[in-house]
Amino acid sequence: MTLDLAAPVEVLAKALIDLPSVSGDEREIADQVEAALRACAHLEVTRLGNNVVARTTLGRAERVVVAGHLDTVPIASNVPGRWADDGATLWGRGAVDMKAGVAVQLSLAAALTEPTRDVTWVLYDQEEVEETRNGLGRVSRERPDLLQADFAVLGEPTGGVIEGGCNGTLRVDVTVQGKAAHSARSWKGVNAIHHAAPLLQALEEYEAETIEVDGLKYREGLNAVGISGGIAGNVIPDSVTVTLNYRFSPAWPLEEAKERVEKFVQAAFTAHPETLERWQAAPDELALVYSLVWTDEAQACRPGLDAPLARSFAAAVEATGAEPPRAKLGWTDVARFGALGIPAVNYGPGDPELAHADDERCAVSQIREVRAGLEAWLTS
């Protein structure tokens, strides 16, 4: 099969869905994308692993990056794709996250031979897995020159609405210490699981904040996402680990977000009378009550909607009838552009609540609308 970039964008999207590309297995789709883009005389194409970068070099005053990932989560009897609702809906793995968005990018990359801004089209692998394997991360480390730009658009599914920036995410293991003993003589030990109760109670009572950043409202969240402990059915547990996940707004730099979690955990334990008395007597002994180990961290990204290019992009998209920009509540790769000092937004077809679902599907009208919004901006 050869990708036809001149086909209607929804037909191209189905062709991409029909190419299985679960994370780590993107060679075939990357080969097809590379071959199709190399056939475009106006593009300069670079291949780095299974990452394909295509650039116009027209000497325009501004350069923008438009990026999307080629991989999907595992298939669930939803490849090949199919049409539903008399052709109004495209159904199949990646229809939302994010082969419809990639189709928009490839369609425009081929069609726009004279955009008013130079464009760097980035199609990358392994977004759906751990951060260390992320293809955009690899490009930024090995060829940062390919990502130099004044503005970036990431084609993550947003329902055809611009979503500015993204929340950051932290994961930390809080291990509460106790003392093992036979459960028949439980008073000889200290039950670590019981002593985790103040933290769990504080999490139950936690009220998520909504914080406004550059005019967009980001809802935060702090939750226990895992708990493990215990030795045997007749042993008082000497430790228990509660895993916390903090989704934080772009108002907080990474280190400040970590400090907020640390203060929350400390306040939870020191609010307990027994722990407070122990801590007040010997502050250094708080480390004997619990310990923290950070297991994952990703910086948030400010929306950057005050940048001139962002304002012009928002105007072009809203002219298609789309809603005004809103905050991106999850973490996306716009944070990588933010770390490079490049304002970035999310904009793509598909309802994000259907991403990764077995019945993943996208309205054809929305694929066309997103293509029209990007085209209007890149040719205005």
Alpha helices (H) along 85-212? 99-111, 135-142, 192-195, 197-205
**3-class state of residue 270 by DSSP:** helix
Which of the following is catalytic: 71, 97, 118, 375? 71
Q: What gap in Å lies between CA 127 and CA 74, rounded to an integer?
A: 13
Question: Is the Cβ–Cβ distance between 92 and 357 less than 8 Å?
Answer: no
Q: How many helices (H) and strands (E) does the chain have?
A: 12, 19
Owner of token pair 């066309």: 368
Q: CA dist 326 to 76, 167, 293, 330, 346, Å?
A: 31, 12, 33, 12, 10
Active site residue 127: yes
Name the residue among 291, 272, 82, 289 with its Cα closest to residue 192.
289
Active site residue 128: no
Which of the following is catalytic: 10, 127, 369, 375? 127
Q: What gap in Å lies between CA 258 and CA 265, rounded to an integer?
A: 11
Q: What gap in Å lies between CA 28 and CA 57, rounded to an integer?
A: 27
Catalytic residues: 71, 127
